[in-house]
């Protein structure tokens, strides 16, 4: 059973608009959440994170929102740029194991 | 330049033929780990190491071995590869197990076991 779910395998957005990538989790022990970005033929790179004591974390064009009651987090990219086209992985970890559990990824395509 | 290198990048082998995928980092990181990525499954951790001579199982360790004799190297060993180990493998390193924001991944090794 998947503990971290990214239900949208792909998302297509126009340049300059907002991209919203969603992630749901089932394990209430998760207390740290991460987003990674992956380009083809490269390893993932860390993008942004949020701990369970916060509900929002912002870094430039990237903002992650956490709704603990709904066990849902989302990554907002504003404005979207063609260079943002990549696969985005959501991941979650707990203080007990620190082994992150990854979602299946969402492929974002930003059209010029 | 800070980096994690993996070799080989691509490998096609046959069932039962032992192989090793090397991983090396130049950042003096204590924590290193191996992941596999399969279609529709995301990344899953195979093994991790918190320091030299300290290794432990991740979520999917069956069929794999690792060693950490030096801080910079963390090879992944498949003693008797099977077709279900066909996958894309990533090595990663970070200063410690909780420094996700300072985690570096290697470029990946695509392994096919026939």
User: Quick one: average pLDDT of B50-75?
Assistant: 96
Q: Which residues of B100-109 are buried (b: 16+ CB within 10 A; e: fewer)?
A: beebbbbebb
A97 confidence band (pLDDT: 50, 70, 90): low
Q: What is the pLDDT of residues A26-66, one digit of tens each?
A: 999 999 999 999 999 899 999 999 999 999 999 999 999 99
DSSP A7-72: --SEEEEETTS-EEEEEEE--TT--EEEEEEE-TTS--EEEEEEETT-SEEEETTEEEEEETTTTE
SS3 A5: strand
Q: Can you give the pLDDT at residue A49? A: 94
Q: What is the pLDDT of residues B70-114, one digit of tens each?
A: 999 999 999 999 999 999 999 999 998 888 888 899 999 999 999
Chain B residue closest in CA terms to A47: B101
B28 confidence band (pLDDT: 50, 70, 90): very high
Chain A residue closest in CA terms to B103: A46
Chain B residue closest in CA terms to A42: B107
Q: Report residue B24 CA to chain centroid gap.
A: 10
A4 inside 8 A of chain B by CB: yes
Q: Which chain A residues are within 8 Å of B104, Cβ to Cβ? A: 43
Q: Can you give the pLDDT at residue B8? A: 97
Q: Can you give the pLDDT at residue A95? A: 75
Q: Can you give the pLDDT at residue A96? A: 67
Comparison of pLDDT for A97 and A20, the residue scoring more: A20
Q: What percent of chain B has pLDDT over 70?
A: 100
With an 8 Å Cβ cutoff, are B108 and A43 in contact?
Answer: yes
The mean pLDDT value of chain B amounts to 95
A91 pLDDT higher than 90 = yes
A96 inside 8 A of chain B by CB: no
- The whole-angstrom distance between A81's CA and the closest CA on chain B is 22
With an 8 Å Cβ cutoff, are B108 and A41 in contact?
Answer: yes
Q: What is the pLDDT of residues A18-28, one digit of tens each?
A: 999 999 999 99
Picking from B42, B44, B107, the nearest residue to A42 by CB comes out as B107
Comparison of pLDDT for B101 and A71, the residue scoring more: A71
């Amino acid at each position: 059973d998947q503990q971290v779910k990214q239900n949208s395998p792909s998302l297509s957005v126009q340049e300059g608009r907002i991209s919203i990538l969603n992630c749901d989790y089932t394990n209430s022990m998760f207390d740290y959440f991460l987003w990674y970005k992956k380009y083809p033929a490269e390893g993932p790179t860390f993008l942004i994170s949020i701990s369970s004591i916060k509900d929002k974390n912002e870094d430039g064009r990237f903002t992650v929102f956490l709704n603990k009651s709904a066990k849902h987090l989302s990554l907002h990219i504003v404005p979207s740029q063609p260079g943002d086209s990549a696969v985005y992985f959501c991941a979650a970890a707990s203080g007990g194991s620190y082994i992150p559990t990854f979602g299946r990824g969402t492929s974002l395509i930003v059209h010029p | 330049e800070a980096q994690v290198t993996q070799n080989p990048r691509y490998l096609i082998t046959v069932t039962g033929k032992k192989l090793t995928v090397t991983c090396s980092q130049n950042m003096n990181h204590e924590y290193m780990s191996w992941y596999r990525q399969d279609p529709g499954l995301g990344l899953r951790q195979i093994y991790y190491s918190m320091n030299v001579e300290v290794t432990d199982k991740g979520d999917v360790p069956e069929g794999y071995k690792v060693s950490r004799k030096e801080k910079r190297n963390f090879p992944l060993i498949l003693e008797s590869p099977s077709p279900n180990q066909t996958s894309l493998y990533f090595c990663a390193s970070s200063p410690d197990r909780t420094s996700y924001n300072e985690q570096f991944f290697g470029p990946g090794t695509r392994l096919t076991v026939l």
